[in-house]
Amino acid sequence: MAIFTGAGVAIVTPMKADGAVNYEKFGELIEFQIANGTDAIIVCGTTGEASTLTHEEHLETIRYCIDKVAGRIPVVAGTGSNCTETAVYLSTEAEKYGADGLLVVTPYYNKATQNGLYAHFKTIAESVKIPIILYNVPSRTGCNILPETVVRLCKDVDNILGVKEASGNISQIAHLAAISHGCVDIYSGNDDQIVPIMALGGVGVISVLSNVAPRQTHEICRKFLDGDVEGSRRMQLAALDLCNALFCEVNPIPVKKALNLMGMEAGSLRMPLSEMEEGNAARLEKAMKDYGIL
């Protein structure tokens, strides 16, 4: 059974002016998401700048999120690493805190083989009892987990349930859907591909767009799941300009800028990420106004 269906937000981690995690604002963002129908919160993923959090900050941010949500919707903790031992440590700690599931990214930089990926994910999964979603984002990790490896893991390991597919390769995702025969919960990892991936059997999205448009992203998924494919398609197309603007610079630079424009005080970014360029910021602001969220 899927950890969640619908729209899960890949939530940002707000920062204070000095770069510290701003837990007060984080709590406000969590409440904003729940009030607007988000189906799950994915904490400390790529959008949450996990790669520049210390282990202590990473775990405290997960713990805070779980405590704040208090069981109202599922919390999925990002606990991946390019070091298997580190991923096991983060995963076991997140399980102790009460996470409903884990999002585990493919190891970055190492460029593991498919057999190495299988062993990596299997080792992590066997260290915990809670369900796991694999995270395939080769544009950021330099490593692509092939459909055959995803299916093998979901069949061989009881608590590996699915994959966040952010390869952008619809043909690869279609192949995964064809060979999995329903044993893999497929989540779109790209906001401009929610409907296409759900049309292939996907169960929802792990979304950047949801940070600024949680109700709309939830409705794209809910309409599709309820059989209103045309309504879902219209909403997907209406959001495309904003989706593109949110990725005109590397995530999460634009989405943090967007939240700040909305008065949500997401704060600054941790280096090596930098503030948004002026021209791109103007493009983002226009897209937000055209979409009706600013």
Q: Pick the closest to residue 128 from 169, 99, 166 (CA basis).
A: 99
Q: Which of 25, 68, 118, 135 is catalytic?
A: 135
Q: Is 109 left (phi over 0), alpha (psi -120 to 50) or beta?
A: left
Question: In degrees, to the nearest 5, what angle opens at C-alpha 206 toward C-alphas 17 and 242?
Answer: 70
Alpha-carbon gap, residue 221 to 5, rounded angstroms: 8
Rg of the chain on CA atoms, in Å: 18
Q: Which of 164, 223, 256, 257 is catalytic?
A: 164
* DSSP state at residue 15: B
Query: What is the Cα 64 distance to its own chain's centre?
Result: 18
Alpha-carbon gap, residue 226 to 232, rounded angstroms: 10
Alpha-carbon gap, residue 107 to 174, rounded angstroms: 23
Total count of residues recorded for the chain: 294
Q: Is 164 noted as a catalytic residue in this protein? A: yes
Distance between first and last Cα of the chain: 37
Q: Is 135 noted as a catalytic residue in this protein? A: yes
Residue 75 — φ and ψ, nearest 5°?
-115, 125
Query: What is the Cα 177 distance to its own chain's centre?
Result: 20
Beta bridge partners of 8: 40, 206
So which residues are the catalytic ones? 135, 164
